[in-house]
Amino acid sequence: QGYAVSIVKAGAKLVGHDAGPVRAPLTDLKPAEMEELNALIKALGPQ
């Protein structure tokens, strides 16, 4: 449900490439959204 930039940055962080927080007025993903994204990344497996 987050912004595309928020999702990309969160995904990068989950795979070990911290891109830092998004700038205002955007917001980082909520913990539940991070969990959902992490589950999707794990389901994809190594690329």
Q: Which two tokens stand for residue 31?
A: 């913990």
> Which ranges of 1-47 would DSSP assign to H, the alpha helix?
4-14, 31-44
Which pLDDT belongs to residue 10?
97
Smallest Cα–Cα separation from 37: which of 12, 17, 19? 12
Which pLDDT belongs to residue 43?
98
pTM over 0.95: no
Q: From CA 42, how far away is CA 27, in angstroms rounded? A: 23
User: Would you say residue 2 has pLDDT above 70?
Assistant: no
User: Would you say residue 6 has pLDDT above 90?
Assistant: yes
* Distance, CA of 35 to chain centre: 9
When the pLDDT of each residue in the chain is averaged and rounded to a whole number, the result is 94
